[in-house]
């Protein structure tokens, strides 16, 4: 049986706007979270890959959690505490616990190779000390490591596992982990933003995506019709998601999410890493193309149709 505290619906893989010194732009973050909340999202993943967590120090990650937890309340906020250093993952997890966040997320530690046995031991060690429900987070293109089915199953049997986030190019893996989740009592949250009807047809419990930052209303509509079975037609919304995906995929992730935010009328803040002149040019091209698409589909922010 699935844990009643497991996530479901549409969660934002939250973008974190910062100034040139890396400080959170609180007013921009507050305006954006309010926009997502009014669109009907179910919760937030803080400091995931869209949140650019490797580019923050540990203290900065704690400050981000403080801000997101306060601004998003009463929405549930999951804290991604992944780190190559187990001690830092634990410290961040204990901070999440002190904030009374409902769960944490764990990715494989990056950079060094690791066996599945050692990966399981890492997950169990961090989860045991933090003592909060856990969502395992699979994104092999970024971590260099796939969380294999036997590792997921063993972790689910020995921990407070409530969810599994499947991101990246291996869409078919959804089938296997969803089947395993039914057996072991966890839900699968997908990162395949542009393929939500397929994801929900397979039995996913929801989605946690970067595009939720940009078009939350479309993703919430697809969730309500395709997963919850509410009356309506989400065909147009799904087609628009495909259009957005084709445009945004011209630029590397997660800089492309910033372009989407700017096109939608929000301030994404300063880049957290250096950006080439070539990428800046492509960024502006994507902003222009997305603005035109949003105008066609009447998706500019109602409260202000100009960039904030």
Domain that holds residue 161: 9-230
Q: Are 272 and 299 in contact (CB under 8 A)?
A: no
In a domain, 176, yes or no: yes
pLDDT of residue 308: 29
pLDDT of residue 307: 34
pLDDT of residue 108: 98
In a domain, 295, yes or no: no
Q: Is the dihedral of CA 108, 271, 56, 113 positive or negative?
A: positive
Q: What is the pLDDT along the chain (308 residues), one digit of tens a residue?
A: 567 679 999 999 999 999 999 999 999 999 999 999 999 999 999 999 999 999 999 999 999 999 999 999 999 999 999 999 999 999 999 999 999 999 999 999 999 999 999 999 999 999 999 999 999 999 999 999 999 999 999 999 999 999 999 999 999 999 999 999 999 999 999 999 999 999 999 999 999 999 999 999 999 999 999 999 999 999 999 999 999 999 999 999 999 999 999 999 999 999 999 999 999 999 999 999 999 999 999 997 654 433 32
In a domain, 172, yes or no: yes
In a domain, 271, yes or no: no
Q: Are 103 and 68 in contact (CB under 8 A)?
A: no
In a domain, 303, yes or no: no
DSSP-based three-state secondary structure for 78: strand
- Indicate the number of domains in the chain: 1
CATH number of the domain at 120, please. Answer: 3.20.20.70
In a domain, 196, yes or no: yes
In a domain, 297, yes or no: no
User: Alpha carbon of 209 to those of 112, 144, 166: distances in Å?
Assistant: 26, 20, 10
DSSP state of 109: P
pLDDT of residue 2: 62
In a domain, 294, yes or no: no
Peptide bond into 8 cis (omega under 30): no
């Amino acid at each position: 049986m699935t844990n009643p505290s497991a996530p479901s619906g549409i969660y934002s893989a939250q973008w974190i706007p910062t100034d040139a010194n890396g400080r959170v732009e609180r007013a921009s973050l507050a305006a954006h979270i309010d926009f997502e909340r009014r669109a009907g999202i179910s919760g937030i993943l803080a400091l995931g890959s869209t949140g650019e967590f490797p580019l923050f120090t540990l203290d900065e990650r704690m400050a981000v959690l403080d801000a997101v937890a306060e601004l998003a309340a009463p929405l549930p906020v999951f804290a991604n505490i992944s780190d190559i250093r187990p001690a830092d993952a634990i410290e961040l997890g204990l901070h999440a616990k002190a904030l009374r966040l409902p769960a944490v997320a764990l990715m494989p530690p990056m950079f060094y190779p690791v066996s599945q046995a050692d990966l399981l031991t890492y997950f169990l060690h961090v989860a045991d000390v933090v003592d909060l429900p856990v969502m395992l987070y699979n994104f092999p293109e970024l971590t260099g490591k796939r969380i294999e089915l036997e590792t997921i199953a063993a972790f689910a049997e020995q921990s407070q596992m409530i969810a599994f986030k499947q991101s990246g190019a291996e869409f078919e893996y959804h089938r296997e982990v969803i089947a395993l989740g039914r057996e072991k009592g966890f839900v699968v949250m997908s990162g395949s933003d542009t393929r939500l009807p397929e994801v929900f047809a397979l039995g996913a419990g929801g989605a946690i995506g970067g595009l939720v930052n940009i078009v939350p209303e479309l993703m919430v509509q697809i969730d309500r019709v395709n997963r919850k079975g509410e009356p309506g037609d989400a065909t147009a919304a799904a087609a628009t998601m495909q259009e957005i995906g084709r445009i945004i995929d011209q630029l590397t992730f997660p800089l492309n999410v910033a372009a989407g935010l700017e096109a939608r009328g929000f301030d994404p803040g300063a880049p957290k890493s250096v950006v080439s002149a070539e990428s800046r040019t492509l960024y502006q091209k994507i902003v222009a193309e997305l603005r035109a698409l949003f105008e066609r589909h009447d998706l500019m922010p109602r409260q202000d149709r100009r960039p904030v």
